[in-house]
Amino acid sequence: MSRRLASRSCRGESRGFTLIEVLVAVSIFAVAAAALIPLLMVSAKAAGTARLETQAKNLVQQQVERMRNLTFYVAHQNGDYVDLLDLYYTDVNATAKTLTPTSTPRSSVAYQDADGVVRVQYLGDAGGTGGRPSGAAYRVSGLQFPGYAGFTLDVYTQFLRTTRTVATPGSTYSSQNDSVDSPPAQLVGITVISTWTGSSGSKTYGTYTEMADGRGTGALLSTQARATAIRITGTDSSGNNLLVQAGVVQADGSVTSASAASVAAESARLEQVGVATELGQTGSATAPPNPAGAIGDSTTISPKIIPGLLGNACGWGSMGYTQVRDVSATTGTQQPQIPSDGGTDVRTSTKRVKAGVLVGGSGCSGFNLGFRPDADNLWLPPIAYGVDATKPLVGIRDNGGSSSLDNAAALGQGQVTASQIVTAPIFSSAYAAASTKTVEVLPTAEHANGLVRARLVSSAVTCVSGTSPVASYELRLDYPSGTGTATSTLTWSTASGSAPVLPSPSGIAFNVNGAPHTLDEYMTWQLTGGVDSGDNGVTVFGPVLRITINKAVLNTSSDVTVEMGVLSCVADDRR
């Protein structure tokens, strides 16, 4: 009995799984594995997607850092330096361009390390959808990084004012050319969008940041107005430089870390450089502090002269009564303004800083303004030329009349202003103007009131940020014509196209003391042909008329130059 039980026990311990048991176990495992496979696939897909998104984010951040490593702006004229704007806001050409590492803009290879091409285009409006910004922008697309061939990056760059509104560059802006490469703002908004293809199709990731010109030396706003109604230069018999000028206004406004405004007005100056100087009425103001009020119409200075060595009553230079008006300045809400009551736009305002010589008081011998090339009338011009040495070589005769500064013998005007930063549109503007009564040049026996007479009826130049300067003048000119006088009225404006042309002095013939002469023996002249916009945003207009009197006529060591209507303005606003 006991042996049979033991034998069964041994046989039971050595039994394996039956076929049915194995099949059941395999079936259970298969069911469990089938349930886990989708989870594993989802997990693998999610890991792949996360890896691609992480790579996209890293590439976007690398692109941002690459841009931050560039200098914000270096003037093109300084050489072949590559700044942020050279690459990411090249110009305002709306045509899409395909660039290779050897094409413009300069050093475009800096776009990417990988081989390939980049497309660039200026957009008047980037669209504002799909992560793209709204408003004017410069787009650089197709950027790649080595080792990440499946990713491309698009960069949208926008100029921003300090209010974070988009600043649109002028129609001529180009970072690749001198004098038009100055950015309209010192802040840019950067949108970088990375695109790649994932398992479920095209994917994008974008980020936005801002970059500023961190040098701290650039101005957010710069305005300037310069006016000189008349300037006469020459030398005396001792070689000293002589200067007579009238109607001078200089006004400046700026915003950097703070706002500032300053103005200086000089009605007239007689200067024998290094020897003696006489000034007419002057005025100046600076804000801050904000001056209280302006210098009014009643402030005048009596006539002045610089006498000669022998005490000649009229000396080499003289001026009549002089006056300045509305010399004041103010700042506030980043709004430098000269004069303080000048308004927000020089194109509509009638308030100007004014300086000049009045017509109601003679400086000497019946002239409001006079210039002789020698301190004692010791200059003796050759008789053949018939020059009357008893009268000013260049002068403005006192014909009496109103003593108002608005009717001055020589008048300069200026104004600068800007809109408030909280008011749209944001802009700055500057204005300069000049006018004179009749300027008599080279009196002779036959032409007692001047061989040439010129009156600058009006001249002005206006600068408004973001627009082209506007300028105009009206000049009346009398000159010999046979036995009589020819009169011309010359007008020009930036809207009128070609400027008028003066007749050649060599073709103007007349008699002096019965002998034939031509005007080129006495002088040359030049009429301005338009505005000249130079570096740093300065727009120069004039002199409207420049006359150079030949030294041979005067029997002196140098020519005498007469300039009428010398004007300039600046209106650069990057707020």
Residues 514-553 have pLDDT tens digits of 889 999 999 999 998 788 876 556 888 889 999 999 998 8
Counting Cα atoms < 13 Å in the Cβ hemisphere of 240 gives 18
**Number of neighbouring beta carbons within 10 Å of residue 44:** 10
Backbone dihedral angles phi then psi of residue 141, each to the nearest 5 degrees: -125, 155
Q: What is the pLDDT of residue 45?
A: 62
Is the four-CA dihedral 20, 21, 23, 24 of positive or negative sign?
A: positive
Q: What is the pLDDT of residue 144?
A: 84
Range 72-83 burial, b when 16+ CB lie within 10 A, else e = bbbebeeeeebb
Burial label, 449 (beta-carbon count in 10 A; 0-12, 13-18, 19+): middle
What is the C-alpha to C-alpha distance for residues 147 and 493, in angstroms, rounded to an integer?
60
Which residue stretches of the chain have pLDDT < 50? 1-12, 114
Q: What is the pLDDT of residue 224?
A: 95
The torsion angle over the Cα atoms of residues 205, 208, 214 and 218, rounded to 10 degrees, is 130
What is the C-alpha to C-alpha distance for residues 469 and 540, in angstroms, rounded to an integer?
10
Counting Cα atoms < 13 Å in the Cβ hemisphere of 233 gives 8
Residue 139 and residue 127 in contact, taking contact as beta carbons nearer than 8 Å: no
Domain residue ranges in the chain? 53-212, 237-573
Q: What is the pLDDT of residue 4?
A: 46
Question: What SS3 class is residue 302?
Answer: coil
Q: What is the pLDDT of residue 474?
A: 96
Q: What is the pLDDT of residue 435?
A: 98
Give me the count of residues in the chain.
575
Residue in the structure block whose two tokens are 């009014």: 296
